[in-house]
Amino acid sequence: MRIPIHDLKKLPKGSEIAGSYDQLSIWGDRMALVDAPYYDTTSSHDFDRYNLAIRYRVYLSDIPVEARLFREPVDFARGDVPMYETSFTYRPSHGIGKHRGHVEAPIDYWVDITKFKDLGSSQAAAVTRTLEEKGYKEQDVNRPLSAAKWRKLLALSFQETQEGDSDLANAAYAVVSGGPWGPTMSEEEEIRVWDNLPGVFATTKKGAIKFIISRNPSGRGI
């Protein structure tokens, strides 16, 4: 079957994702079974490093949201048919006996990552690799600037960056030249590199992404 795809800016309000697809999660106002995203250091079907989004495969149930059911395990009546073509049972820890439920056919939700701290180490590495492939430069760790200052700086010509505040001038020059170990460049080469620079990014010592500033932001992703 062809699984429908929807893009979301964020998880539905109140959502909580269990650690396993055979435990009940909360998805908006319904209980659901959710395939949690899986990714590794080289590739992933659940992480879009270009659009900075994570995929959740969601099987909505016919059970209204009830916080006490979060992470309750479920058992399906038949294991040889799709989940949405059979029923499942669960035993609420706060109730008596087994209860029965059903799920709908799955929907893939691609949810935007709104905070870089939510990226795992392998995801951050994949994003960094993508930025470098696209020509983004990492700011010199010895000349760090805030995201706000980089936005201001990228709106200037290279000549203008060198005529103002010394911290801004040094940061811009370090990005263009590649730092003290970078190649010697002519003024024309420096201007060309700056004019073609799509943006800059900053990371922590542990490799976590602090910010990404695009010169011409597209609205979603990198």
Rounded to two decimals, the pTM is 0.77
Cα 164 to chain centroid distance, Å, stands at 35
State the pairing for strand pair 107-112/53-64: antiparallel
Q: For residue 34, give the nearest of 4, 56, 53 by alpha carbon.
A: 56
| Per-residue pLDDT, 169 | 92
165-176 pLDDT, tens per residue? 899 999 999 999
Q: Which residue has the tokens 């979301």?
A: 8
| Per-residue pLDDT, 79 | 74
| Per-residue pLDDT, 21 | 85
Residues sharing a CB contact under 8 Å with residue 193, sequence separation 6 or more, in sequence order: 176, 185
Averaged over 148-175, what is the pLDDT? 92
| Per-residue pLDDT, 76 | 92
Cα separation of 43 and 160, whole Å?
Answer: 41
49 or 24, which is more confident? 24
53-99 pLDDT, tens per residue? 989 999 999 999 999 999 999 999 877 889 999 999 998 877 778 89
Residues 74 and 66 sit within 8 Å (Cβ to Cβ) = no
Averaged over 1-21, what is the pLDDT? 91
Cα separation of 28 and 168, whole Å?
Answer: 45
What does DSSP assign to residue 73?
B
178-200 pLDDT, tens per residue? 765 566 788 899 999 999 999 99
Sketch the domain layout of the chain as residue ranges.
5-114, 117-214
Residues 131 and 163 sit within 8 Å (Cβ to Cβ) = no
Q: Which residue has the tokens 């079974």?
A: 33
Cα separation of 77 and 83, whole Å?
Answer: 9
Q: Which residue has the tokens 């006490």?
A: 68
For 16, counting Cβ atoms within 10 Å of its Cβ (0-12 exposed, 13-18 middle, 19+ buried), the class is middle
| Per-residue pLDDT, 181 | 57
**Model confidence at 107, in pLDDT bands (50, 70, 90)?**
very high
CB atoms within 10 A of CB 220: 12
Strand-pair partners of 32? 25, 60
How much of the chain exceeds pLDDT 70, in percent?
A: 94
**Model confidence at 9, in pLDDT bands (50, 70, 90)?**
very high
